[in-house]
Amino acid sequence: MPLDATHDPLATSWVASANAADCDFPLQNLPFGRFRLGPTEDWRAGVAIGDQVLDLQQAGQLQSADMAEVMQLPAAERHALRLALFEGLRAGNARQRHWELALYAQGEVELGLPCAVGDFTDFYSGIHHARHVGQLFRPDTPLLPNYLWLPIAYHGRASSLVASGQRFHRPWGQVLPAGATAPQLMRTQRLDYELELALWVAQGNTLGEPVPLTEAESHVWGLSLLNDWSARDVQAWEYQPLGPFLAKNFATTVSPWVVTLEALAPFRSAFSHPPGEPQPLPYLDSAANRSRGAFDIQLEVWLQTARMQAEGDAGQRLSRSNSRDAYWTLAQLVTQHTVNGCNLRAGDVLGTGTLSGPLQEQGGTLLELSQGGLHPITLHNGEQRCFLEDGDTVTLQAYAERPGARRIGFGACRGTVLPARVSPGL
C-alpha cells in the first residue's frame, strides 16, 4: 500500500468540520461504518467525514445499503472506492451539490456495528500486558514458553459485540473467594476493561488454504478500537486449562468506524523481536513485515465515574500506549490463524489482545494499573479505583500522527457499567 494522493496532508474537504486540526475524520481518513436514522429504520453503509456521515448508496458509490458490498470488493477496487470518495469530498469538487444531500450529522444518527460480525477471536499480542498479568497470576513463569514463538489466542463470541455506547449490567459468575474452599455465585468484584484494537476481515480464505504472510494484509479491511470487558475474579477461577470463557463474553464494545489499512499507510513502523529472543519461524517472517509490519497508533483509556458525570467533569485519562509495542503484527495474526487451513470470513473480528506499554503506568487494564488490585489508583477528584464501580464509563480513543502526514483518529469506544441485576435470575 504505497502513499498516494489520498494521503496528501494539505488536501481539504468541502465538509468544513473535516478540516479542523483535531478532527478524527479528515479527508485523508474515510473510515467505514453503518448508521440508521431511527431504531426501526434499516442500517445504511456510510463513510465518516468531519462530524458527518456520507450515505454511500445515496451518493451513488454502492448499489445497495449493504456494507458487505464494500467488504467483498477485491483490494484494488476498495482502493478505487477510496480514491472516488476522496475526490468527491475534496474542496472544489462538483459532486458537492449532489453529495450534500447524502450527508447526515453523526450526532443525529445511530451508529451501529460496521458490519454483521461473523466469528470473534481474541489474540494476546501485547507482550507487556502478558508479562504484567503473568507476573500476577504465575510469578514463577509469567510468560509461558509458547508466547515467544506464536501469536496465541482464544475463540470468543461475536454475539456480545456491541457498538460504542454499550451499557451493560455488572455480571454474575462463579468465583472462588480468597481463602475459601468452595466457590460461590456472586456479582463480580473485579470488573475490568482491556484496551485493544479490532482487526476486521474483508475477504476471507477458502477452508484448507492458509493465507501466506505476504498476502495477509489484503484480507484486512481495517481497524477499530475494542474493549474486552473482563471479570477478573471469574477469570482466575475458570481459565485453566481451556482459557477465558464467561469472564469475557458478557460484553465487548467496539468503536463504530473501520479505519482502513490504506488510511493507516503513513503510520507504519519497522517490526522486530529483540535480539536474544526467538525470531519468527519462516512462515511468520518476511522482508515487508520486518520493514513496515507494525502500526504507530497512539492509544488512550479515559474514565468518567458517576460522580464526575454528576459534577460535569469530563473524566480523566488513565493510560497511554502505542500499538507499535505489540509482539506480533496484524499480518502475523492472520497467517497464524489460517496456518492449519482455518477459514476466515468477511466480517470476522480478530482482537489484538491488550496493548499495554512497557511501563507500569502504561497498562491497558486496571489489573495492571492497580497491580492486581493491591494498589488503588487515585483519581483527580480524590476517588480511588482498583477495579470498575457501577456507573463508571470507560472510553478508549486512538489516533495516528506523524510529521508530514495528516493526523487521523478512530472515534470513541465507550461503555458504561450498570449495577448488577438484583438476583442472577436463576
- Shortest separation between residue 156's beta carbon and Mn ion, angstroms: 8
Interaction of residue 122 with Mn ion, rule CB under 5 A: yes
Q: Select 71 or 301, whichever has its Cβ closest to Mn ion.
A: 301
The residue from 7, 129, 219, 337 that is catalytic is: 129
- The binder of Mn ion chosen from 24, 51, 119, 194 (CB under 5 A): 194
Taking the C-alpha atoms of residue 48 and residue 55, their distance in angstroms, rounded to an integer, is: 9
Q: Is 368 in the site for Mn ion (CB under 5 A)?
A: no
Number of residues in contact with Mn ion under rule CB under 5 A:
3
Quick note: the x/- pattern for Mn ion over 225-254, rule CB under 5 A, is ---x--------------------------
Instruction: Using the minimum distance from each CB to Mn ion, give the nearer residue, 89 or 191.
Output: 191
Provide, rounded to whole angstroms, the least separation between the CB of residue 81 and Mn ion.
32
Query: Known catalytic residue: 132?
Result: no
Q: Is 57 exposed, middle or buried (0-12, 13-18, 19+ CB in 10 A)?
A: middle
Give the Cα separation of 294 and 51 in Å (integer).
Answer: 29
Cell triple for residue 200?
A: 476486521
Name the minimum Å distance from CB 70 to Mn ion: 27
CA 48/CA 24 separation, integer angstroms: 9
Nearer to Mn ion, 194 or 262 (CB): 194
3-state secondary structure 190-237: CEECCEEEEEEECCCCCCCCCCCHHHHHHHEEEEEEEECCEEHHHHHH
* Strand-pair partners of 378: 384
Nearest residue to Mn ion, scored by beta-carbon proximity? 228
In the window 304-363, what residues touch Mn ion (CB under 5 A)? Answer: none
Taking CB under 5 A as the criterion, which residues in 29-48 touch Mn ion?
Answer: none
Q: Judged by CB under 5 A, does residue 55 bind Mn ion? A: no
**Closest distance to Mn ion from the beta carbon of 277 (Å):** 23
Residue 359's closest CA among 397, 316, 399, 321? 321
Omega within 30 of 0 (cis) for the link into 419: no
Task: Say if CB 410 and CB 255 are below 8 A apart.
Answer: yes
CB of 388 to Mn ion, least distance (A): 15
The residue with cell 471469574 is 234
Catalytic positions, please? 129
Binding residues for Mn ion (CB under 5 A): 122, 194, 228
